[in-house]
Structure 1
Amino acid sequence: MIEDYEVYAVQYGTIAERRASENFLGGDPHDAAPMPLNYYVWLIRNADRVILVDTGFNAERAARRGRVLQRNPVEALEVLGIAPEDVDTVIITHLHYDHAGNMDRLPNARFVLQEAEMAHATGRSMRHALLRHPFELGDVQLMVALNYAERVNWVSGEAEVAPGVWVHHLPGHSAGLQAVTVETRAGRLCLASDVAHFYDNISRGLPFPVTADVARQLDGHEAVKRLAGRPELLIPGHDPRVNELFAPIPQDPLIFDLTRPR
């Protein structure tokens, strides 16, 4: 039943030394207050389905980009009793390096991606270093290979992935970015992914600086507020406040039950 979905945020990495000025387009460039950024994937499951939202990055990518990898996100699922082969569906919110690595570690999954994201990641915009910087060529090539293997479910706009689980095309940060909504006992949960990195991106009306379209990114802020059943069920992509607002599971202090606000 759709109200039986469990939804977890699985923290797998961080950048502890990040400054607030790095997180807001149009903010004060001299704001040196610390504002860490966390990396998460999200797990949705019930008795019938195991759906992973995004796949994180690996140790090689972490070292090259100066990120702290706390554990491989696919391996972290074992705490929840989930082996890689148990995952039947992977929703890739967008193809940036911190959301689309490790796809090769999920042998039985089908992948859900917006057509606009693949067009963006393989199209003319990638001739610009600024726009291709968040992507890893190997991840994009792997998505092409998965498509050749007939393992990609392409969507364009809004679509129901499973009963009570929907994706919503909200471009801005990336051209094919999609948020995810899940019907749970607690209400309609919105996994915003990088529609908003932080709660404060929305409340201050200042997008994260990495963007393909500023106006549409701001539109996305408005959209995810509407999609969440109530404000506390809106989950941004990288905000450490998630760790404070939701209860960790007893087995792991970095896995948070998003149906249990504190």
Structure 2
Amino acid sequence: MRLHLFKLGTNPVGAPVPGYLVQTDDGTNVLVDSGFPRTASGPRVFVTVGPEEGVEARLAAVGLRPADIALVVCTHLDPDHAGNHDLFPDAEFVIQRGHYERAKAGVPARLEMARAAWDQPRLKYRLVDGDTELLPGVDLVESPGHVEGHQSVLVRLPRTGAVLLAGDAIPSGEHLDPDARAMTPFDVNESAVRASTRKLVALAEAEDALLVRGHDAQQWPALRTGPDDCYE
């Protein structure tokens, strides 16, 4: 099993907008998040996407096309995470039920920006409830607070060991202390944020996992992010 870390753009504070690719030993390709909408324009654009940073370009760099993706894990449907779901009509999208149902109802309103990409009748969604084994070695970890039904991803690799993709539940190293951490402007539930932070930090410690924060400009250069430099 291999794990690729993709930089799919840069947000307004200079931090990476990430996506992730898990490739299993049986050839299943799992994408985690699809990045900022490639069609966004005007004042709605708050992420800079370089010419080689779009999700299609990142996949091509490792020899894949969107049609090769079997599963897309949605950490959540914020526009910088779900803006290109429409590129993957052949994939199955896996999302927490509570988040999907609230997003369909328009809550929170910021999810509407990328709705044209993630809310299409042709896209196939699998709704899960809470912590779930997606595949052997890949677990979904419910981590709400940033939005209801946010989920993180734990990948257990044969050589590297465990890697915990925290997503926006823990966006940077400044957000690792569940009691002292600040809220971000987009967090919707402070008590849930603190509980999820505590849960993920404890899980990373129990698994001796590399904890990859969601938007951390300081951590990113120390990670393996090149097309030929992945975690195995």
Specify the TM-score bucket, using the shorter chain as the normaliser.
Answer: 0.7 to 0.9
Q: Report runs of 4+ in structure 1 exceeding 3 Å deviation.
A: none
Shift of residue 209, structure 1, vs aligned partner: 2.1
Deviations 1:77-135 (A, max 9, x none): 11111111111110001111111111111132111011011122123x63xxxx31244
Equivalent runs, 1:94-243 vs 2, <5 Å: 94-123=76-105, 126=107, 131-136=108-113, 137-142=115-120, 145-146=121-122, 151-184=124-157, 185-203=159-177, 204-228=180-204, 229-230=207-208, 233-243=210-220
Equivalent runs, 1:18-97 vs 2, <5 Å: 18=13, 36-48=14-26, 49-61=28-40, 63=42, 64-70=44-50, 71-97=53-79
Structure 1 residues 114 and 96: CA distance shift in structure 2, 3 A: same
Deviations 1:219-254 (A, max 9, x none): 1111111222226x0011111233322234365xxx
Structure 2's unaligned 5+ residue stretches are none
Q: Distance in 2 between matches of 1:40 and 1:79?
A: 15
Question: Percent of aligned positions with the same letter in both sequences?
Answer: 26
CA RMSD of aligned residues (A): 2.0
Question: Helix, strand or coil for the counterpart of 1:168?
Answer: strand
Shift of residue 50, structure 1, vs aligned partner: 0.6
Structure 1 residues 75 and 250: CA distance shift in structure 2, 3 A: closer
Question: Helix, strand or coil for the counterpart of 1:111?
Answer: strand
For 2:162, give the aligned amino acid.
Answer: R
Question: Helix, strand or coil for the counterpart of 1:249?
Answer: coil
Please, which moves more after superposition, 190-199 or 69-78? 69-78
Shift of residue 208, structure 1, vs aligned partner: 2.0
Question: Helix, strand or coil for the counterpart of 1:226?
Answer: helix
Q: How many residues align?
A: 222
Q: Is the 8 A contact 2:36 2:47 kept in 1?
A: no
Question: Helix, strand or coil for the counterpart of 2:61?
Answer: helix
Structure 1-normalised TM-score? 0.78
Structure 1 residues 66 and 43: CA distance shift in structure 2, 3 A: same
Higher helix share: 1
Structure 1's unaligned 5+ residue stretches are 19-35
For 1:58, give the aligned amino acid.
Answer: P
Q: Is the 8 A contact 2:5 2:225 kept in 1?
A: no
For 2:197, give the aligned amino acid.
Answer: H
Partner of residue 222, structure 2: 245
